[in-house]
Structure 1
Amino acid sequence: MASLSRLPHTLLLLVAAQLSAASFACLPGEPCWPSNDQWRALNTSLGGQLRVTEPMASSCFESSSNYDAKQCAWVSGRYGNDIARASVYGAMQNLQWEGCGEQECLVNTLKPQSPPIQESCSLGALSAYYVNATTTDDVIKTLKFINQTGVRLSIKNSGHDYLGRSVAPNSLALWTRNIRNLEYHEKYSLYNSAESRENIGVIGAGVSAGEARDFFQAKGMDITLGAVGTVGAAGGFGQGAGHGPFGPSYGLMVDQAVEFDVVTADGVFRTINEFSEPDLFWAMRGGGGGTFAVLVNYKFRVYPSVQFTTYSFLANITNTPEDIRDSWVYRSILHAFVQSQPTWSANNISGYNFFCHDKIETHLVYPSDKPLSFLIDLTSEWANFLTSLPGLSIHKHAYEHFNTYKDWATDADYHWIIQRNAPGGMAVVETGRLVPRSLFSPGKNANALVDAMLDGLAAGKKVPGFMMQVYATTPANHPDGEHATSAHPAWRDALWSLDFVSGYFDGTPQTAVAKLWKASRMAIGFIKKLTPGGGCYLNEADYGEEEWQQTFFGANYDKLLSIKRKWDPTGLFRCWKCVGWEADESLDSCYGSKPRATVPLPEVGAEEGAEFRVQGGEGTGFLFQGEL
């Protein structure tokens, strides 16, 4: 037999593809599974950073080995808190991704002090072991262990993940939340190049959006993040596009990237940019997190800080007809909304807007040094229309001024409004679509868009809390003519990212959950009909999207797949409907009819009685005792 080194490159790829089908799928109990000595050796090499997973709610179960009434009270008081959830490995922001079929460890979010619904606590989709990575060396050693053993890898940061990509049963998890580098450079020299860039920020893989925002604001700079402070800025957000209030002004987060520090599938640390490994750099500027390499540091442009001025309108629609499509009030509002959007986008006004069956909330956000009067001039027609329209019970109609990005994002009213996009401690049902500029043209197109929005709302009539969320945070003024990023091309022609959203809590019957998904998918279907060949934000999407290659990546998919095969030929980096994903029931069992829950492993590793504390801002304090 010829040695692999002598095979043609194309044949090598075929061999690698065949090997990958059986690679990184080793399950506990199988001969390939690492021995206790191997786990101990890994833990020693990591300085004790290999940890046994404790599900967030495990202390509330009397059957659990770490039952603790006092600790349970602490958990219960923070069970729906996204900050607390991001501070531990053993929790996801959305509950459906903690469980695996009927295997789970949850308490009732609405009544966390009450006894758990299920009798026992299991790991569900969480890994039995995880590496609490704090350095590049931790990442390198973890990937080398994965390559040596064939164990499946999962990568988790904050747990903000609507598609459940951050966890996988029967895997070794790499938890990056505690890679926390923060730097600001007035002038930064690019690796492997004589060129430099001005006003460059550097954040480690685990730095949250709020932490990054505050750090750079102290330097007099703003960062192009979203509105939710606990999201990991460099992870799926920073690699999957990343939209926020600065979208019309500066573009997506990936538009700002100038360089990444990464560890590739072969366990090698690399600094990549447009001069050094430009194909991999391009792929990670929009192709999604957890797919091409482990990102350690994200380096990007920041901008001089500006003030935020806003206009907010909140109202209930009175005497709503049985069929929302018959409401002339709602139809008039949406027509005016659609008609106004091109002007707002052209003037760098972003927006966070929420529409329910009998309630509307619109929040226009203008990050700029221009006075409040500028926003008033651009939006007064809209404000006068809303306040003069009969059939509304108005709760808020206000222009406001905030000195900084942080002042706006942490304002009591805005904080809870924006949190709707990232609720902690409940399951989220979400479908999304990018809405192109052409649908805002007066006449037939705009009428069709309004009809589709009303049809979508009507589809969720019987769903409690059903909502249409409209984010005017797209890079509408930044076309990416040089194709410098791999973000879905539909972003560049979109004025909105539009989602239909609902949710549920633990204990909801599966028949009811199925109805929620049916309503949300039916609703987005009306928008899809108007956007053939279009796409959506791959981080705010339907996990069951059938045309996921086109919808998440568009025309970039084939090139992304080629780069994926080059840099990860054995398929070490695998996540649900990421580039290169192929359905495999044995690996995607949490989505199939025969779930396989993670099997708890023997305790191995650190000295008996060792203590460890999970770090992570407010909510820190999960203190566990025991041996690994």
Structure 2
Amino acid sequence: MKRANSIIHGAAATARLLFLAAHAVAGLTFPYETVQLDETDVAAFPAVSFGNTSAPPVPLGECRSFPGDADWPGEAEWAALDDLLDGRLLRPTPLGAACDPAHAAYDAARCESLVRDASRTRALLDDPLTVLTVWPQGDTCRVVLPTGSGPGGGADPPPPCTRGGFPEYVVNATTARHVQAAVNFARNRNLRLVVKNTGHDFGGRSVGAGSLSVWTHHLKDSRYMANYDSAFYSGRAMQLGAGIEAWEMSNLMVDHGGITITAPGCSTVGGVGGWMLGGGHTTITSSHGLGADQVVELNVVTADGSFVTANGTHNTDLFWALRGSGVGSFGIVTSAVFKAYAPVSITGVQLQWQTTAGTSGTVVDKETFWRGINAYFKFGINVGLANGVDFNYIRKQGNDTYSFTTSISFPGKTPDQVSDHLAPLMRSLQAAGVNMTSPLPAQPRPYASRRGGTGDSLGNARYASRLWPRSLWADEAGFARAMAAVRASVEEGGYTFHGLLMNTDPDTVGTPVVPPNSVSPGWRAAAMHASVQDSTALAHLTPADFHAANERLLKYSGAIRAATPGGGAYINEGYSLEPGWQDNFYGLVVYPRLLRVKRDVDPWGLFWAPTAVGSEAWEVRTVDKRPTQNGRLCRQTWA
């Protein structure tokens, strides 16, 4: 297929022309990407002038500008930016204000609807501020009834709603020009910049007190290409706008003959945002690869405000860094070209057992329960090697009772093949004392199927991630230590353990990843992604108790980390306080190169998020000393 030419408007300045000649290439663009910022815009409003990465950045103070500071933009300047943005600059009120009787936006009926019905609507997903994990924002404006009931509520009425860590302004971007203007304005006016798509954010990457937010949620275009051709990939492909969600990707697959695109497992997760940039696992990872492995071209707005195409032949360092380690670090992706594949069907099977009497799969006592757990996870490496992915939970239910559930998906397998594959597991479970009949696999279903985009709710959990290396399964004593640490985290810690058994080795999974990407070595060596999940109600804790809860989570997750040497952690489902995050999220072999790319494309440190590449140079200074985004973003004193 012939590529469409990117339309990049002429620049008056010689330096700008030279930059464009070096970095802007012909790429596939959507109509909204051809609408770009130009020198006419800059002449009319110099606050959106482009940056120059070759010139040393001028220090603009220890901290990013904050509301109330002398250098915070005035109302007239915000109004001028809004004019340039075609009226797309928003200053939204947090949804929780509807639940605060003292707030001007109080609306009892609206509050009741949000508390009772939001999980069945698009109310949370289509809000420009809301993130679904609320504690990183500071939990300062709760969606709970004034009596205190509702998600995250307690016995007492909630405190008054304040903005907290929510952004001060939001750019509802519908063109590349909007993204460029926001980036340039934030850089030139020394503002904190954040990026939000759907709000599926466990660690505070999409919020920040006093920030300007770029909301990519409405960049929804798509384009299917049956004969895409590039230097490193030829075949089916789909170009997707940054705001496309998994359910929309699935419907696009159906619309184009049942093709396969690797999409997030959760329907409302964005497929072209943090999921892909941070790696991105899903139901077909063991057969088709991670989300980051699918991308053959990206359109990006970089920290100097330029709109560039990154692929295997142009802006190659940026292309490498974004695919796997690009969350919050290098630029704002406006669209991506994904590989597409022939239709595939999924055969699924479910297993469960527990220590509760009178239920199917019941075991006699907890020792039998844990023998069954050990047997299952010992077999588990075979799930990924057979192109399967499992999704399991171990939960403590109270009174020293426990439950285990798992759902296993096998792409391209028949029910008989799945039963044959699981037969050794069933024998091992019987030998362990788990009296369970062999499950009957479901009939194969198309991976491409019609899906809807509703059903999310607010939560407050924290996740401590660990990628278990395949080598652990060959070390009997080491595997036993790891499983003992899992048991302690559930039995003693009271946490939920969540595992996903899969295979992410690019030499055996999917199509070749050429050129290579920056997915961490920990991912490539992994047979399982696991997390310890804490659902402690943090909103009601004192700062001291908050920190104690953090230390407790780190104690139990740290024991699992120590028992899985050579592993790593998954940034998208990891903890913002992860010790040694440069190694665990990225790998010490990879991180120095990532940091060089960061300094080359963003010498200002404009793009920042917790544990993102280069984030160690900055810190959020909160008044209450909690590790949230409700505070000023300032340079580390040593940086």
Q: Deviations over 1:543-565 (max 9, x none)?
A: 11121111111021100000000
* Cα distance in 1 between the residues matched to 2:102 and 2:253: 46
Aligned to 1:455: 488
Aligned to 1:609: none
Tell me which of 60, 68, 71 is aligned to 1:29: 68
Residues 531, 387 of structure 1: alpha-carbon distance in 2 compared, 3 angstrom cutoff: closer
Aligned to 2:370: 331
Residues 213, 21 of structure 1: alpha-carbon distance in 2 compared, 3 angstrom cutoff: farther
Aligned to 2:540: 508
Q: Deviations over 1:225-281 (max 9, x none)?
A: 232111111111111100111111111111111000111111111111010110000
Secondary structure at the counterpart of residue 86 of structure 1: coil
Residues 391, 246 of structure 1: alpha-carbon distance in 2 compared, 3 angstrom cutoff: closer
Contact kept in structure 1, 2:348 and 2:407, CA below 8 Å: yes
Residues 590, 384 of structure 1: alpha-carbon distance in 2 compared, 3 angstrom cutoff: farther
Contact kept in structure 2, 1:350 and 1:365, CA below 8 Å: yes
Specify which structure has the bigger relative contact order, considering alpha-carbon pairs within 8 angstroms and separated by 6 or more residues.
Answer: 1
Q: Deviations over 1:268-306 (max 9, x none)?
A: 111110101100000001113221011000111122221
Aligned to 1:355: 394
Q: How does 1:110-121 map to 2 (within 5 A)?
A: 111=150, 117-121=157-161
Tell me which of 303, 306, 320 is aligned to 1:282: 320
Residues 226, 593 of structure 1: alpha-carbon distance in 2 compared, 3 angstrom cutoff: closer
User: Structure 1 residue 183: deviation in Å?
Assistant: 1.7
* Worse-matched range after superposition: 554-563 or 514-523: 514-523
Residues 13, 546 of structure 1: alpha-carbon distance in 2 compared, 3 angstrom cutoff: farther
Residues 436, 391 of structure 1: alpha-carbon distance in 2 compared, 3 angstrom cutoff: closer
Aligned to 2:237: 200
* Cα distance in 2 between the residues matched to 1:520 and 1:389: 30
Tell me which of 172, 188, 192 is aligned to 1:148: 188
Secondary structure at the counterpart of residue 405 of structure 2: strand
Residues 66, 327 of structure 1: alpha-carbon distance in 2 compared, 3 angstrom cutoff: closer
* Cα distance in 1 between the residues matched to 2:154 and 2:111: 11
Tell me which of 405, 421, 428 is aligned to 2:447: 405
Q: Does 1:96 align with 2:125?
A: no
The amino acid across from 2:179 in the alignment is V
Q: TM-score, normalised by structure 2?
A: 0.80
* Cα distance in 2 between the residues matched to 1:482 and 1:196: 8
The amino acid across from 2:517 in the alignment is T
Residues 20, 107 of structure 1: alpha-carbon distance in 2 compared, 3 angstrom cutoff: farther
User: Structure 1 residue 382: deviation in Å?
Assistant: 1.9
* Worse-matched range after superposition: 303-312 or 109-118: 109-118
Aligned to 2:605: 571
Q: Does 1:557 align with 2:591?
A: yes
* Cα distance in 2 between the residues matched to 1:39 and 1:331: 59
* Cα distance in 2 between the residues matched to 1:590 and 1:225: 40
The amino acid across from 1:360 in the alignment is F
Over the residues paired in the alignment, what is the CA RMSD in angstroms? 3.3
Contact kept in structure 2, 1:182 and 1:212, CA below 8 Å: no
Q: Does 1:367 align with 2:396?
A: no
* Worse-matched range after superposition: 65-74 or 152-161: 65-74
Residues 72, 452 of structure 1: alpha-carbon distance in 2 compared, 3 angstrom cutoff: closer
Q: TM-score, normalised by structure 1?
A: 0.82
Tell me which of 282, 289, 295 is aligned to 2:333: 295
Residues 106, 514 of structure 1: alpha-carbon distance in 2 compared, 3 angstrom cutoff: farther
User: Structure 1 residue 307: deviation in Å?
Assistant: 1.4
Q: Identical aligned pairs, as a percentage?
A: 26
Q: Does 1:425 align with 2:463?
A: no
Q: Does 1:167 align with 2:201?
A: no
User: Structure 1 residue 159: deviation in Å?
Assistant: 1.2
Contact kept in structure 1, 2:207 and 2:629, CA below 8 Å: no
* Cα distance in 2 between the residues matched to 1:486 and 1:373: 38
* Worse-matched range after superposition: 521-530 or 35-44: 521-530
Q: Does 1:253 align with 2:291?
A: yes
* Cα distance in 2 between the residues matched to 1:533 and 1:282: 23
* Cα distance in 2 between the residues matched to 1:499 and 1:521: 12
Structure 1 spans left out of the alignment, 5+ residues? 6-11, 600-628
Structure 2 spans left out of the alignment, 5+ residues? 1-14, 16-51, 358-362, 397-401, 633-639
Aligned to 1:241: 279
* Cα distance in 1 between the residues matched to 2:520 and 2:500: 17
May I ask how many residue pairs the two structures share in their alignment? 563
User: Structure 1 residue 31: deviation in Å?
Assistant: 2.2
User: Structure 1 residue 127: deviation in Å?
Assistant: 1.2
* Cα distance in 1 between the residues matched to 2:419 and 2:449: 20
The amino acid across from 1:544 in the alignment is L
Residues 520, 506 of structure 1: alpha-carbon distance in 2 compared, 3 angstrom cutoff: closer
The amino acid across from 2:312 in the alignment is E
Q: Deviations over 1:320-363 (max 9, x none)?
A: xxxx9x94313322332233223222210111011123100122
* Cα distance in 2 between the residues matched to 1:153 and 1:247: 32
Tell me which of 372, 377, 381 is aligned to 2:420: 377
